[in-house]
């Protein structure tokens, strides 16, 4: 069973993933897979260079993520192009890593933006107020409020994600760990009943 954990930047996906991992469950981080596939010689590395050119490489011939981000950040067409190049290989790797009867949790920011819902049995949307989201990202990434708002604007609005999610987890709520425990327990029961 695959549970997608998604949400905008700074909503608390990493916290939820770490907590679930601490309970002994398999948590796959799609961002780590994306980074791995962008390393020299991997599929996405070659495909990205083919489309965006060798100007995006650093002195070690690795993809310079800052240069690439600069190209795609303010250009929606190029951003979608990058995602269409990278996501098929990311999903392929996720599916290969989670193809037995266990419960797998997959942290993946753009599940709804890239219409990847079909690969998951359930999707948990991690959410918080915009004010808290902005504050968290400013503190964590050392960005200005304007930069954070730019990033948020590039992501699907929370209200649209809420319509598509199976479960909404508000990371500002008290007893959040207890709530996650209850969600996991209900998954365990479901798997038990299916087997």
87-124 pLDDT, tens digit per residue, is 999 999 999 999 888 899 999 999 999 999 999 999 99
| pLDDT greater than 80 at residue 194 | no
Three-state SS annotation for 17-58: HHHHHHCCCEEEEHHHHHHHHCCCCCHHHHHHHHHHCHHHEC
Residue showing tokens 């069973």: 1
| pLDDT greater than 90 at residue 195 | no
pTM across the whole model:
0.91
How many helices (DSSP H) and strands (DSSP E) are in the chain?
A: 9, 5
Banded model confidence at residue 155, pLDDT cuts 50, 70, 90: confident
User: 46-79: per-residue pLDDT in tens?
Assistant: 999 999 999 999 999 999 988 998 898 878 899 9
Average pLDDT, the chain: 93
Helix, strand, or coil (residue 3)? strand
R_g (Cα) of the chain, nearest Å = 18
- The domains found in the chain, sorted by start residue, are 1-25+108-182 (3.40.50.300), 32-102 (no CATH)
What pLDDT score does 85 carry?
A: 93
What pLDDT score does 154 carry?
A: 83
CA 76 to chain centre: 18
Nearest to 161 by CA among 141, 190, 195, 133: 133
What pLDDT score does 93 carry?
A: 95
Average pLDDT over residues 169-182: 95
Average pLDDT over residues 176-184: 96
């Amino acid at each position: 069973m695959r549970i997608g954990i998604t949400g905008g930047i700074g909503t608390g996906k990493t916290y939820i993933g770490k907590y679930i991992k601490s309970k002994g469950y398999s948590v796959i981080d799609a961002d780590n897979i994306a980074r791995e596939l962008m390393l020299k010689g991997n599929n996405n590395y070659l495909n990205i260079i083919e489309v965006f050119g060798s100007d995006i490489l650093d002195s070690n011939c690795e993809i310079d993520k800052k240069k690439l981000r600069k190209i795609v950040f303010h250009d929606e067409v190029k951003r979608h192009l990058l995602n269409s190049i990278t996501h098929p290989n990311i999903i392929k790797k996720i599916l290969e890593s989670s193809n037995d009867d266990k419960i797998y949790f997959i942290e993946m920011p753009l599940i709804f933006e890239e219409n990847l819902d079909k690969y998951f049995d359930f999707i948990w949307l991690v959410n918080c107020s915009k004010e808290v989201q902005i504050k968290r990202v400013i503190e964590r990434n050392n960005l200005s409020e304007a930069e954070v708002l730019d990033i948020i604007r590039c992501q699907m609005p929370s209200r649209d994600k809420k319509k598509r999610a199976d479960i909404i987890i508000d990371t500002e709520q008290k007893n959040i760990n207890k709530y996650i425990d209850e969600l996991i327990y209900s998954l365990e029961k479901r798997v038990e009943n299916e087997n």
